[in-house]
Structure 1
């Protein structure tokens, strides 16, 4: 649970760093980059421990896939509430396919050894 909470918090920071400036188009690009780097620092302070502590409970593949689905969920909430963009049906369908990928990634490993 600690890993998931840290991943959610880290994604909040990264989403703001990457997309928060879109409502402030008048700010010069170099300032936006510096501000984004500053925000991203805190994302790394949460992301690295999440991966460090989560590895073992999850495989590296599962951590990455979990990270991506959390990223999408955080982004959807951010885009709707902060950027005031609608969630169109085709975006929802695409997200459902990604969610299906998460399901498959977390299935138990088969007992059959992989073929070379």
Structure 2
């Protein structure tokens, strides 16, 4: 077993990710959340079609999960857009789970609805 472990060489891969401008007269809201070491934090930033920042905001959230803080970031970003009459907006999230939930291919986990702080 030791010999197998000593000979093991991990393989690494990487993917270059670049921010892409939204279409002209559109805005892009990028979101992120983290719950490590509660309290967690959720944040969003909005940029216009030239890539210029419109706003960036972060919020601390007590005792919750990473899915909830990711969802809160989206809710906060969309609330800002609504309150500031930004109608043409693209939401980008790094949460695969939330992307699938919003697209309708996954169901919302019960713990997010029942006591998770979303509703």
With the length of structure 2 as denominator, give the TM-score of the two structures.
Answer: 0.32
Higher RCO by CA contacts (8 Å cutoff, separation 6 or greater): 1
Q: Larger Rg: 1 or 2? A: 2
Calculate the TM-score normalised by the size of structure 1.
Answer: 0.32
